[in-house]
Structure 1
């Protein structure tokens, strides 16, 4: 098995909730050179995409809250689109994060260059599933709080695709199945992770924008641009962290429910990503 200890990304055993969150942070730290710039580009694109919807809804910076109930309908659409784009970005980031997590479980270090150049990255299937997940999340968000259920169940789509190597048509079902195992532990951890990072995002974003405004560093003319930049920066870190959490939770759930750790302990060395396919693939 891979080495164990407090600084190991995935020690190859069932983890506590705290250890799972720590493992996700360690995975992000090891892959920050790739995940953070990629997340920043996607988060910036998200801000540009949402800008016209914010104008229609009358949402104003820094929190982009609609000022009146008369704008509730367009504001709800804005929130729904935002929920869908968040899920899509996390899924895209989940591709390299999951491949890095799989290699970490095998005791291998993965560089950003290796993740980018991997011939078996399955990016085409990832983009296709990204569009499908985005459509599902948009629908669930429009009809009400059911978006939370969708978010909880869809965390392992990218890991199922690139670690388990299931067919794209099976990835969503595989994700939901794993999320509900062990009394829904995976689903609960994903929701917990989202809430933790949501609180951090609001605190950091609001605090930074308030500080800039108090110091007179941002004029009213540039308030919208500054808010978009700050939220893109804050969201980039959160999205990358949540993608890493999805990857860790996926593998930890397989260890708990499929005996993945036992299978790997019996595998011949050196272990390869193919050894991750044999259990519950």
Structure 2
């Protein structure tokens, strides 16, 4: 049985918040050899993109806080950072969602399965990543509206890849699922982000100051060292958040759509993709 035992990645039943966080970690552990290298490439690109914006805001390592009088440039930096962050998590959400779908059937998807182009809808994923990035940048420029955007757009990749909805419907599907149960799924996504934000902040700053205390940080390359540290931290945090989005989406469907009942009543031999597809 796929939900037998305490180590099932995604049991076919409603989960508690703690179980959801554990499920996301288990999924990441099983897919780390795929997700982490891809995330590292994307995170390095993100840091290189943000570096000139940090210089324009006179922000210095390791926390990259602005100097007085540069808050306008720093606000733009935060908005662009919110956009790139959302885009990377969505792109990683494509393979993470497919891996979560396999886990629902008690399987561990291999690298070829989660990265194969057939049926992956990578083109639509890339276009939606741009759309979500622009949206999140605009929301971030408006301040606290960012929280709303982050809550509503978490399940775009699972809706596209697992539910197989039309690409233009994926954001609406994600928002609808996030708001179910008085916004339970959206709230858990925000909680997961805050948890990983604290972890990232602690490691990103801690490693830098740890090296600096050993006189291993030269002023000439301190900024580049900090960029490398942040890229390394994000290469784990971003796929962890993508895995949380994937398991949270499927768990919400179990909780609110009876996906577990649908799977238990399925005829033998029915393709997994057909069973997981949302009703149109």
Q: TM-score, normalised by structure 1?
A: 0.97
* CA displacement 1:39-81 (0-9 Å, x = unmatched): 011000000000111111111111111021x100000000010
The match for 1:258 is: 257
How far residue 118 of structure 1 moved from its aligned partner, in angstroms, is 4.2
Inter-partner Cα distance in structure 2 for 1:57 and 1:269: 60
Q: Which 4+ stretches in 1 moved above 6 angstroms?
A: none
Inter-partner Cα distance in structure 2 for 1:4 and 1:91: 30
How far residue 99 of structure 1 moved from its aligned partner, in angstroms, is 0.5
The match for 1:120 is: 119
The match for 2:17 is: 17
Within the alignment, does 1:40 sit opposite 2:40 as a pair? yes
Inter-partner Cα distance in structure 2 for 1:133 and 1:61: 28
The match for 1:51 is: 51
After the TM superposition, which residues 60-75 of structure 1 pair with which residues of structure 2 at under 5 Å, given as runs?
Answer: 60-68=60-68, 70-75=69-74
After the TM superposition, which residues 182-197 of structure 1 pair with which residues of structure 2 at under 5 Å, given as runs?
Answer: 182-197=181-196
Inter-partner Cα distance in structure 1 for 2:252 and 2:50: 35
SS at the partner of 2:211? Answer: helix
The match for 2:229 is: 230
Structure 2 alignment gaps of length 5 or more: none
Matched residues, number: 279
Inter-partner Cα distance in structure 2 for 1:270 and 1:217: 59
Q: TM-score, normalised by structure 2?
A: 0.98
After the TM superposition, which residues 87-126 of structure 1 pair with which residues of structure 2 at under 5 Å, given as runs?
Answer: 87-126=86-125
Inter-partner Cα distance in structure 1 for 2:268 and 2:210: 54
SS at the partner of 2:70? Answer: helix
SS at the partner of 1:31? Answer: helix
Within the alignment, does 1:78 sit opposite 2:73 as a pair? no
* CA displacement 1:192-245 (0-9 Å, x = unmatched): 000000000001111111100000111011100100000000011110100000
Structure 1 alignment gaps of length 5 or more: none
